[in-house]
Structures are given as C-alpha cells and as structure tokens.
Amino acid sequence: MTAGFVYDPVFLDHDTGTHPENASRMTATMALLEEARLPGALRRIAARAATADELTLVHDPRYVDAVRRAAEQGGGWADPDTLITPRSFDVAAMVVGGTLNALDVVLAGEVRSAYCLVRPPGHHAGPAQAMGFCLFNHVAVAAAYARARHGLARVAIVDFDVHHGNGTQDAFYADPGVLYISTHEFPFYPGTGAATETGDGDARGATINIPMPHGSGDAEHTEAFRRIVVPALARYRPELILVSAGFDAHFADDIALQQLSVDGYGALVSMVLEAADLLCGGRVVMAQEGGYHLVALPWCVRRSIELLAGVPPTADPLGAIETSPPAPFAAMLDEVARIHALA
C-alpha cells in the first residue's frame, strides 16, 4: 500500500518575501521530489479549506475571525516573527484542511500513512495566538478532529522540530486523550518545553518534553527516541500517530545549533513507523513544520517520504558531521526518564 501525499501550489500564496519561512521552502522541496519521481508513486490527496467548525476544535472563534479580518484588511505583523498577508487566512485554512483530508484517508484504510508538505507551519499557534511563523495549528486540529469526528480515544503527537511546539502543548495540556512528545533545543525559542512541564490534572504525564542541549546530534536524538519516545508510545497505545516534522535541527540549518543529518532524521522517522506498525496498524500522518535550509529540508522530506512509501532510501548527499555528546545530555535524559517512570 502506497503512502498518501498532500501538496497544493496554493501554499505558495502566503507570500512572505525574504522571510525565513517563505515559498522557496516548498518549491525547492517539490523540485527534488519531482526529480526523484516520488509524487507519482504516492496517493495524491487534495487540500481543502478547513471549516470554521474544524478550526475552532482548537482555536478560539474570536482568534479565527481576527486572522480572517487581518488578511482581508491587507495583512500585517501578528508578532515580530509572524506575517499575515492578504492570502494568509485562505492558505492557512487549506493547510489545516489538507492535513484533515490526509487523516481521513489514513483512518479509512486507503493508505497506511501520509506526508503533508504544507506551509505555513503550525505548532507555535495556540488557541488564541499566532507566533513563530504559525497561524493555525494543523497538527493540533488534526488530533482534535481525529477524536471528535472519528471517535479515537488516544492520539499521539511526536514533534521533532528544533523549536518546542508550545501551541500544541497548550492545546492539550489538560487532555489525557492526546499524548504530546517533543524533542527540541533547550533553552531556545519560545522558552517553553522544560522536562518538568508534564500536563495538568488527569493529563499529568501526557506531555513529555525532551529538552535537547545545544549541539545534540544523530546519536543523542536516536538515544532520546530509543529511551523515551518509543517506550512512551508503547505505554500509551495510540490509535494514530501524528508527527510535527520539523527539519530545522539539521546541522546545515543555521536557525539553531543542533547537528542532525538526513540519516539521523531518517532513523527517527523509522522508529516512529516501527512503533506505529506495532501499536496502531501503521497509521501515521506527518505534517511539515520547520526546516529552512533549501538543500537540507528537501532531502529530509525526501527521506521521510521514501520511508513512508517503503522505497529504498537514497544516499544522503550532505553526510554527517562529527559531534561530541553535549555534557548535559545524559543527565537530562535521566531526568526525563525518572519524571515519566520510563527508566
């Protein structure tokens, strides 16, 4: 069974100019995928505009209206990092709708997994706040939609962006029906994601933060997944795994100080897919978050799609760099394991 794939040229219409989160991220990635003839080997899934009812599964209706009005009035800066353009509301709604369509197709059993190549990203967008390049939180809405519209009891989100997904965490911090696991550089923007942030009330323990020290590479991220992410998924037994796929922890991406390679990212994706095969019939939806280097990002996406589709991975042309384990790493991982009883 082939994998599903969401992409629409409308995602280019969120025209941010020379902002780091710009349309070149999509055009460079699609050029590499088309060179490899991957899109033709995938089940194409159409994007659509999410409805107001769908957006408000996570977002405050007043916030949704505010984003719409800002776009209709010509746009502007929602915060110092986040630009709203005249087309941004429509594009962001299409991002969410495309992700929901992918989820529908996966849950219908038409494909086992899907990749959503979308922009703008979403995981910083909270219920009533735009920030960090993000307007609507497509992965959070997908998790809420899977439960509200498909009746799933347990959904897991694995977020491996270099930045902590504070918006996703906020959406489900008191909700035991969603397990949120994040690896992210720490301390770093947006300042959240400490190991001690674990959820509230009945959801205590359903938020798992793995704050990676500066300079963490393939070995450290793989060990974090082996020791924390995979056992946490096994204990939770999700019916679906969503992945906030941020590739800005690649060593070539100068937005941060992490040292992952394409092969390193491939190892993380492989571990998620293996867990999904054991726990939820392989049901995985990956959705694009960060990644700003116009060579590294396309290759990380290509590797992920090859793994989803069962295609032999193409050799990583960028290679890896030698790293030394950051001194705080072992103690951090021990703390996370202790907090969540995964030791």
C-alpha 2: how far from chain center: 21
What is the spatial distance between Cα 320 and Cα 289, in angstroms, rounded to a whole number?
22
> How many alpha carbons fall within 13 Å on the CB side of residue 57?
22
Kindly write down the DSSP assignment for every residue of 169-199, as one continuous string. Answer: HHHHTT-TTEEEEEEEESS-TTS---TT---
Beta strands in the chain (DSSP E): 4-6, 43-45, 76-79, 82-84, 113-116, 155-159, 178-185, 207-212, 240-245, 284-288
Annotated active-site residue in 59, 124, 250, 293: 124
Instruction: Locate 94 and state its tokens.
Output: 């299409």
Looking up tokens 């937005």 gives: 255
Q: Sign of torsion, CA 291 262 160 12?
A: positive
Distances (CA, A) of 313 to 31, 132, 226, 269: 17, 32, 21, 12
Report the 10 Å Cβ neighbour count for 169.
22
CA angle (194, 197, 202) in 5-degree steps: 165
Active site residue 124: yes
The residues annotated as belonging to the active site are: 124
